Structure 1
Amino acid sequence: MIEDSPILRSAESDIAGAEKQYEAAKSTFYPRFDAETGRAADNNLDGAIGHSNEWQAMLRMNFNLYAGGSNKAGLESKSYLANQASDIRNNALRQLNEELGLAWNALENANAQVPIAQQYVDHGNRVRSAYQQQFGLGERTLLDSENETFTAQRRLVEVKNIQMFTQYRIKATIGQLLKSQGVVAPLAPLCRTT
């Protein structure tokens, strides 16, 4: 459910990048092969009259047998970075799961409070109606019942706002908030190397 979380996707990308760097660092332990080709076309070269064409094809192998331990140190460094990226991802996953659990509990709590708050409002409205009848007979004041009804309505609105906020909180945690609101996230500019 939280696979779409931007935090988790970013951490997964960091792991993939660190693993690719580790693989690249391992390549220093293998020989490198380069294919080289060339062509030369000359006229009257070195005092010789005439045209000469020269073609070259070469396969060159470079193998650094010992680089003073720098290759091994570089590999260990990349391994450390890959492990660090994995630890960061695992920590992000724990935090996301914790946040999702807290938000879910808050939503369940708010969902349980809505009917109670609605009953409170309904009860306040019935009491106010009864007080209005008694007020018409000159037996009561309406201030207490109006205050109680206002407090009940305020509590209902507060609980519904908490309910809505926790729904947004859950959607944000699982990476669905923008999508649920119909917002298209801007694309990051592509990095180009020249």
Structure 2
Amino acid sequence: MRFRRSGALGSQANAAINDFASRVDGRATEVAGRAAQVITVAVRVLRIPTAVVGALSVPFIAATLVLGLLADGAVGIVVLVAGIVLAGVNAFFWARRGRILRAVDDPDRLATELAVMLTMTGKVDEARGVLTQVAGTSGGWRVMGRLRGLWQGTQLSGRWIDEIGDLPRARYFGPPKIGTTITIAVAALWLVPVSIVVALFSLIGTVAGAL
């Protein structure tokens, strides 16, 4: 396995990743392969639900932005800023969703990277146990929750973050990105009611300012 990065740090990270890859044993490969299959299915099952979640808030965000442009004075500025913040959260959600979908488009490569990441943890037996549980889990959100549970309490060094960045697929299912992904998903769920309320208050404020 070979990963490309620029500079001395990139060369060191590549060397470290290749070293971990050479230490992956058959059991780790087997468990990672099963986990990759389950993760792939879970992500694909969530493709439509996540698209719906991301799309539901779009009309209300658009309405908030339009109202912010139409309103005058301080009200218009506040409404416009609120719309930009909501749009930013939504864009972040769509971007992460796209990256995760691309991460599972090749299950074999994902399995290889998961095996390397498992070896990188330094807790191979523990990680194997949780990945085995993941492989026996059904339901998209439950799989992601189990993955987050796997890494809870793990001490992350700067070197770990640098090295896992060289795993373009598996990095989305390990720390720190797995926690960020779940946080973004929760934020996207809250974005729907929040965007409705903000759009409603923006409409009221714009109408009141025009009177």
Report the TM range for the smaller structure's normalisation: 0.3 to 0.5
Radius of gyration: which is bigger?
1
Q: Which has the higher helix share?
A: 2
TM-score by length of 2: 0.33
Higher relative contact order (CA 8 A, sep 6+): 2
